[in-house]
Amino acid sequence: MLIFLTAGESHGKGVFAFLQGIPANLKVDKDFINNELRRRQRGYGRGGRQKIEKDKVEFLAGVREGKTLPGPILMAVWNKDFENWKDIMSPFCKVPNDKRVTRPRPGHADLVGALKYNQKDIRNILERASARETAGRVLGGSICKLFLKEV
């Protein structure tokens, strides 16, 4: 069974992908994964942030000597712009009221997410309902593509 999770916020420290169930000894091609991340960044409608972020995968667990280990795989794409957001995105600092997002953007997940999850600061929704979140999906999908090439 394959378990695939993503974590992280658009303006947080990074975006993360967790994969469990990939067989051990799968050859991991870091260049292939980084190329997939570059393809994501070239997509239609990319904002100005694409000029700041040059996404590259970092393996935090589950890969050694270029091959998968028997345990879970944890990958990260770090957000270079986090320094500009660390006060707003800090896990424990109180965010000033003037820095909170209280008006939903038309056509986005803001309003529905704020209502569903009872959030007064819409940033708690928009940080995950962001194109940046797809970087984690690309990480997980790239490993799956490498696996499918082998079977």
Q: What's the pLDDT score for residue 149?
A: 96
Both tokens of 132, joined, read 């940046």
In terms of residue numbers, what domain contains 63? 3-91+131-150
Q: Alpha-carbon distance 57 to 137, whole Å? A: 12
Q: Does residue 123 lie within any of the structural domains?
A: no
pLDDT, tens digit, 9 for 90 and up, residues 101-139: 999 999 999 999 999 999 999 999 999 999 999 999 999
Q: Does residue 32 lie within any of the structural domains?
A: yes
Q: What's the pLDDT score for residue 18?
A: 99
In 2-38, which positions are buried (b, 16+ CB within 10 angstroms) versus exposed (e)? Answer: eebebebbbbbebbbbbbeebeeebebbeeebbebbe
pLDDT, tens digit, 9 for 90 and up, residues 14-67: 999 999 999 999 999 999 999 999 999 886 655 555 556 689 999 999 999 999
Q: What's the pLDDT score for residue 101?
A: 95
Q: Does residue 65 lie within any of the structural domains?
A: yes
Contact between residue 69 and residue 24 where contact means Cβ atoms under 8 Å apart = yes
Q: What's the pLDDT score for residue 52?
A: 63
Report the CATH number that the domain containing residue 139 is assigned in CATH: 3.60.150.10
Q: Does residue 38 lie within any of the structural domains?
A: yes
Q: What's the pLDDT score for residue 79?
A: 93
Collapsing DSSP to helix, strand or coil, 150 comes out as helix
Q: Does residue 96 lie within any of the structural domains?
A: no
Contact between residue 22 and residue 2 where contact means Cβ atoms under 8 Å apart = yes
Q: What's the pLDDT score for residue 37?
A: 96
Collapsing DSSP to helix, strand or coil, 74 comes out as strand
Q: Does residue 23 lie within any of the structural domains?
A: yes
pTM of the entire structure? 0.88
Q: What's the pLDDT score for residue 133?
A: 92
Q: Does residue 117 lie within any of the structural domains?
A: no
Q: What's the number of domains the chain is made of? A: 1
